[in-house]
Amino acid sequence: MYKTLCLSFVLAAASNFIFAQTPDTVFLEELTWTEVESAIASGSTTIIIPTAGTEQNGPHMVLGKHKYRINAGSERIARSLGNTLVAPAITYVPEGDIDPPSGHMRFAGTISIPQEVFELVLEHTARSLKQHGFTDILFIGDSGPNQGPQESVAEKLSREWSQEGINVFHIGDWYKIGVFDEYLISQGANYEQIGSHAGLRDTSLLLAIAPEHVRTNNMSPGRGPDVDGVSGDPTIATAEYGQIGFDLIFNAALSQIKELMEIE
């Protein structure tokens, strides 16, 4: 009797353990290869390739700002579309010359690669995923310099695979930041406060998505991209602004995806 009860307990525990190991996730890196194979066989043939960057974001935001934003956006898009997975974010992108340093490379921690290398990474990531059975591949980038290379690689691969029913799309509307700027202007902000990097817009978005990565005690109006790396005024940023901006950008990207994929 005692042995029977013990065996039943062990089997029940093992069953619970196995169940717990199959997560509710859309992220490729959180799945086993057999789980990915099963997902593809069950119809999950759309894959998002998010691109980010590792760059300075002023004294108040972490170097991985773009990664946190694009992962949050990619997950939301994948769950909204259904049958969609998300590849690991590409965090090494063009950020300026290395020696002598230019752009963000003038600030500690930034990592930069040449544009042609970035394009090759995009291309071979897409080729890898096509090989496994993904038929709709979406490039979604959270940084300005990523947009041109993504569009170029998407066009190249789409031409090459046009007869195979494989689609590669550049989702440029994710970086349609003007829609968020218009909202901020309507709330009384000006373009100097919004800035072009690590200012009101940028900081609000990260406060909404990953506030733990914003050093609020280090925020001050930017002194310029050549001084502290900040263009704009992060001190007036709020998570509430950021959530509205995130919704606007998400809706723009999702609408573009549905149009390109001819989804109702």
Domain boundaries, the chain: 24-261
Judge whether 97 and 105 are in contact, CB under 8 Å: yes
Q: What is the pLDDT of residue 5?
A: 47
Q: What is the pLDDT of residue 264?
A: 82
Report the DSSP beta bridge partners of residue 112.
Answer: 93
**pTM as predicted:** 0.91
In CATH, the number for domain 24-261 is: 3.40.50.10310
Helical segments of the chain, H only = 2-20, 33-41, 65-81, 115-132, 147-160, 178-186, 191-194, 200-209, 239-261
Judge whether 157 and 65 are in contact, CB under 8 Å: no
Report whether pLDDT(7) > 80: no
Q: What is the pLDDT of residue 22?
A: 73
In this structure, the strands spanning 167-170 and 84-86 are unpaired
Work out the pLDDT band at 20, boundaries 50, 70, 90.
low
pLDDT digits (tens, 9 = 90+) for 208-249: 999 999 999 999 999 999 999 999 999 999 999 999 999 999
Summarize the confidence of residues 170-195 as an average pLDDT: 96
